[in-house]
């Protein structure tokens, strides 16, 4: 066979590469680069290295590859040192030890594979680190100031000075300032500054003390290196007690701290530092007390906060921060307790925000409150572009004060409502960066992951929340809810009982009533209802649920119909019981009316009115309309609901359960419905009560499937699973030991880390 000239030249070139060890060096360099890049991707972020540095790090490694190849082509390493290749006497050259080189390459390959396995297979690279906050030279936590006055009311004065200093420092863009929620966790702490710095991920800590005596005030402030406990800067200020002096001191302190941390101030920031929020010490005290009550989020504390903000405004009508606080209080009261009419709440909050921005259009809290207002308005109807206005307000608030964590949290809820889960998660991650001990992100974030179908990650994050806040019942309740909707009913009971030991809230444990319905333990449900306060706004809903559970649908309606439903929480429980009871009684007209009352958007034929908030109601309405002969409207609703369900996971707190089974059954596609039910069971579905207020036995939407042998077999399979979990709960109760059931979650996480 004849070899062409081109092939001969190519072979000759390859031989020359081998002779000059270019190929061997290329392989060795590639392996070393692999190790360096893999290690750098994990280790560099650990030391707070920014993303741009890692990118530059990788580019340098790649550039070195080219340099190494050129070096290998031009030079030769000989026993006499490095020489140009053309200077080497090949006849006298000592043959290289190829076996030794091969051994080195093989060893490097083993190291590379070991690094890759360690970082990727064991999950080190992908482990959640919450809060994964890395210290930076200009990161700072301002701890609550100590009051050195005998008067206990002086604490609010000291807190006001602390709060104002924290706000002023947060206005400096080049500083990362931890939010007040997190630093307030360290009031009267026994932890040393190094522990605090590590937990908050900051390099420096500010401590202060306030002593008020008559018409004089002494303020002592010190900036400390959290790692070494060394003072970076400190000063003491003795002044006459006037607001002018107080805020002048705060401006001076802020500037001195910025200077000590080498944080340059822009002209705009210098102007912000000189601002005096109020001229009244009394107004400042009311504002500080109101802010403290607002943070607690309880119904009674919110009522107190509203009165205190209003009093601060009465004393100082130009107190912009007080107007913003009042607006937030009203909106939180509406969202958390539904004890105020929405139209009234929106009007009052809008007026307060307008006044705040009129006084100070650079106030981040006011822009954030406006974002919350516009988001709340949009969420009530999902019509119009108020969500876009809300997003602009949140972005402006973050631009003005990147350390105000509420902006990120509220903005994330907006993004989640829009279906942008990645955006919501990114915003919550930023919230944790500036507020590592702010609690809401720790329970919202698992919910976002659950809605994305990442059920295991949701569990992992809830465990993290429990580790950080071991006495906070909310993550335990969320864990119980999540496990219940994953079909792990016995574990859900265990976590709910643990949550109930941490709070006196009678609603805690309410989620497990559906489980006890499946267990057939009606006495347990009655006991829960009997311990419920009769003056609680949900007491009658609980009584109605008892009637419904006993299949006394007429009794449930008779009890619930006379109720004046004045809150969203009441509507959430009352309306479903009413329209489901009417449906079971065959009163389709009343069922439809109650369902529309609860979901007014479904009254319209407009496309797009079905979303993740109301898709279940839309499916039930489609079933009712089908029974009434309105097949066209029924099909329209089913088509919209099907689009929503297709994008959702099946199980977990963000799942749809067996909504696809309902849709297919209503459409008369029985074989497809039974296949979907089989898929649901294989994925972990166990109980319809995890997603609705009735059992699979009560559900009228699957009545047409009941006589099918395949349905009967699957129902028997579910009954067996439920009975097995009932016995697990019974054994744990008898032994008084829930360790095994509670331990399954952590065992699951350990197994996932080892094998996934």
Q: Is 90 exposed, middle or buried (0-12, 13-18, 19+ CB in 10 A)?
A: exposed
* 507 or 391, higher pLDDT: 391
In this prediction, residue 93 has a pLDDT band, given cuts at 50, 70 and 90, of very low
The domain limits of the chain are 5-121, 139-273, 294-315+328-397+404-466
In this prediction, residue 1 has a pLDDT band, given cuts at 50, 70 and 90, of very low
Q: Tokens 């006196």 correspond to what residue? A: 504
Its pTM stands at 0.75
Number of C-beta neighbours around residue 539 at 10 A: 14
Is pLDDT at 502 greater than 60 in this prediction? yes
Is the distance from CB of 416 to CB of 377 less than 8 angstroms? no
Is the distance from CB of 232 to CB of 204 less than 8 angstroms? yes
pLDDT of residue 621: 96
Sequence-separated (6 or more) residues with CB below 8 Å from residue 198 = 226
What 8-state DSSP symbol labels residue 119? I
- Report helix, strand or coil for 75: strand
Question: Could you report the per-residue pLDDT of 327-370, keeping only the tens digit for each?
Answer: 999 999 888 776 788 889 999 999 999 999 999 999 999 999 99
Label the pairing between strands 204-213 and 139-142. Answer: parallel
Asked which of 158-172, 182-196, 437-451 is least confident by mean pLDDT, the reply is: 158-172
Return mean pLDDT, the chain. Answer: 84
Architecture of domain 294-315+328-397+404-466 in this structure: Alpha Horseshoe (1.25)
CATH fold label, 139-273: Rossmann fold (3.40.50)
Asked which of 34-38, 184-188, 202-206, 417-421 is least confident by mean pLDDT, the reply is: 34-38
Question: Could you report the per-residue pLDDT of 456-479, keeping only the tens digit for each?
Answer: 999 999 999 999 999 999 999 999
**Phi, psi dihedral angles at 301 (to 5 degrees):** -70, -30
CB-based burial, 415-426: b 16+ in 10 Å, e otherwise: bbbbeebebbbe
CA–CA gap between residue 609 and residue 371 (Å, rounded)? 23
pLDDT of residue 529: 77
pLDDT of residue 15: 61
Is the distance from CB of 61 to CB of 104 less than 8 angstroms? no
Question: Could you report the per-residue pLDDT of 133-160, keeping only the tens digit for each?
Answer: 333 468 899 999 888 877 766 777 888 8
* 458 or 526, higher pLDDT: 458
Strand partners, 210: 147, 219
Give me the mean pLDDT over the 76-96 stretch: 56
Is pLDDT at 90 greater than 70 in this prediction? no
CA–CA gap between residue 435 and residue 342 (Å, rounded)? 30
* 702 or 7, higher pLDDT: 702
Number of C-beta neighbours around residue 136 at 10 A: 15
Is pLDDT at 69 greater than 70 in this prediction? no
Residue 396 token pair: 């402006």
Q: Long-range pairs for 282-285 at CB < 8 Å and ≥24 separation? A: 282/315, 283/312, 283/313, 283/315, 283/316, 283/319, 283/322, 284/157, 284/160, 284/164, 284/243, 284/312, 285/153, 285/156, 285/157, 285/160
Is pLDDT at 755 greater than 80 in this prediction? no
Give me the mean pLDDT over the 422-445 stretch: 93
pLDDT of residue 283: 92
Question: Could you report the per-residue pLDDT of 645-703, keeping only the tens digit for each?
Answer: 999 999 999 999 999 999 999 999 999 999 999 999 999 999 999 999 899 999 999 99
Residue 285 token pair: 């005290």
CA–CA gap between residue 607 and residue 594 (Å, rounded)? 21
Is the distance from CB of 233 to CB of 260 less than 8 angstroms? yes
Is pLDDT at 578 greater than 90 in this prediction? yes
Give me the mean pLDDT over the 4-10 stretch: 56
In this prediction, residue 65 has a pLDDT band, given cuts at 50, 70 and 90, of low
Question: Could you report the per-residue pLDDT of 585-639, keeping only the tens digit for each?
Answer: 999 999 999 999 988 888 876 555 888 889 999 999 999 999 999 999 999 999 9
pLDDT of residue 72: 62
């Amino acid at each position: 066979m004849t070899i062409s000239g081109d092939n001969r030249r190519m072979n000759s070139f390859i031989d020359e590469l081998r002779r000059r060890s270019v190929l061997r060096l290329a392989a060795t360099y590639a392996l070393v680069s692999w190790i360096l890049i893999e290690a750098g991707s994990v280790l560099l972020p650990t030391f707070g290295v920014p993303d741009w540095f890692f990118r530059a790090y990788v580019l340098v490694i790649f550039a070195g590859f080219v340099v190494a190849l050129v070096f290998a082509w031009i030079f030769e390493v000989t026993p006499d040192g490095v020489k140009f290749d053309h200077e080497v006497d090949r006849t006298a050259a000592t043959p290289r030890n190829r076996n030794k080189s091969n051994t080195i390459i093989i060893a490097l390959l083993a190291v590379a594979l070991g690094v890759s396995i360690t970082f990727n297979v064991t999950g080190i690279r992908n482990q959640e680190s919450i809060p994964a906050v890395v210290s930076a030279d200009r990161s700072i936590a301002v701890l609550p100031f100590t009051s050195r006055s005998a008067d206990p009311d002086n604490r609010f004065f000291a807190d006001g000075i602390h709060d104002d200093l924290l706000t002023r420092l947060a206005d400096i863009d080049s500083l990362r300032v931890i939010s007040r929620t997190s630093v307030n966790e360290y009031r009267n702490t026994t932890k040393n500054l190094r522990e605090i710095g590590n937990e908050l991920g900051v390099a420096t800590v500010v401590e202060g003390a306030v002593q008020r005596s008559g018409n004089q005030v002494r303020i002592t402030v010190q900036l400390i290196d959290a790692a070494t406990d060394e003072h970076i800067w400190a000063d003491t200020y003795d002044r006459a007690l006037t607001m002018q002096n107080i805020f002048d001191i705060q401006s001076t302190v802020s500037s001195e701290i910025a200077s000590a941390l080498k944080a340059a101030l822009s002209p705009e920031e210098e102007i912000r530092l000189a601002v005096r929020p109020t001229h009244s010490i009394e107004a400042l005290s009311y504002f500080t007390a109101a802010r403290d009550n607002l943070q607690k989020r309880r119904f009674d504390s919110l009522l107190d906060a509203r009165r205190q903000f209003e009093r601060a405004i009465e004393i100082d009508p130009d107190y912009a921060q007080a107007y913003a606080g009042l607006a937030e209080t009203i909106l939180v009261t509406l969202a958390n307790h539904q004890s105020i009419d929405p139209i009234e709440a929106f009007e009052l909050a809008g007026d307060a925000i307008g006044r705040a921005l009129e006084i100070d259009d650079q106030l981040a809290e006011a822009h954030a409150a406006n974002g919350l207002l516009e988001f709340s308005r949009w969420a009530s109807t999902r019509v119009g572009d108020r969500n876009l206005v809300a997003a602009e307000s949140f972005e402006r608030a973050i631009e003005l004060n990147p350390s105000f964590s509420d902006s990120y949290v509220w903005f994330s809820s907006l993004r989640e409502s829009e279906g942008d889960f990645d955006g919501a998660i990114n915003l919550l991650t930023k919230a944790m960066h500036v507020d590592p001990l702010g609690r809401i992100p720790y329970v919202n974030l698992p919910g976002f992951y659950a809605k994305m179908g990442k059920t295991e990650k949701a569990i992992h994050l809830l465990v993290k929340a429990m580790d950080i806040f071991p006495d906070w019942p909310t993550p335990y309740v969320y864990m119980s809810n999540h496990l219940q909707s994953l079909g792990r009913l016995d574990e859900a009971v265990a976590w709910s009982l643990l949550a109930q030991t941490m709070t006196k809230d009678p609603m805690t444990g309410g989620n497990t009533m559906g489980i006890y319905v499946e267990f057939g333990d009606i006495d347990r449900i009655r006991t829960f209802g009997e311990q419920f306060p009769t003056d609680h706004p949900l007491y009658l809903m609980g009584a109605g649920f008892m009637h419904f559970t006993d299949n006394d649908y007429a009794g449930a309606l008779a009890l619930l119909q006379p109720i004046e439903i004045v809150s969203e929480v009441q509507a959430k429980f009352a309306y479903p019981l009413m329209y489901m009871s009417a449906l079971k009684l065959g009163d389709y007209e009343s069922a439809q009316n109650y369902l529309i009352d609860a979901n007014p958007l479904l009254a319209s034929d407009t496309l797009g009115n079905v979303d993740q908030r109301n898709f279940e109601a839309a499916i039930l309405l489609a079933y009712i309309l089908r029974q009434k002969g309105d097949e066209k409207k029924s099909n329209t609703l089913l088509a919209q609901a099907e689009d929503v369900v297709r994008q959702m996971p099946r199980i977990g707190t963000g799942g749809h359960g067996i909504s696809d089974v309902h849709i297919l059954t209503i459409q008369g596609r029985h074989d497809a419905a039974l296949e979907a039910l089989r898929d649901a069971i294989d994925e972990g579905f166990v109980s319809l009560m995890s997603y609705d207020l009735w059992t699979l036995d009560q559900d009228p939407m699957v009545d047409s499937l009941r006589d099918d042998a395949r349905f009967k077999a699957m129902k028997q399979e579910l009954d067996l699973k439920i009975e097995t979990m009932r016995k697990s709960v019974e054994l744990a109760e008898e032994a008084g030991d829930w360790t095994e059931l509670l331990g399954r979650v952590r065992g699951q996480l350990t197994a996932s880390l080892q094998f996934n």
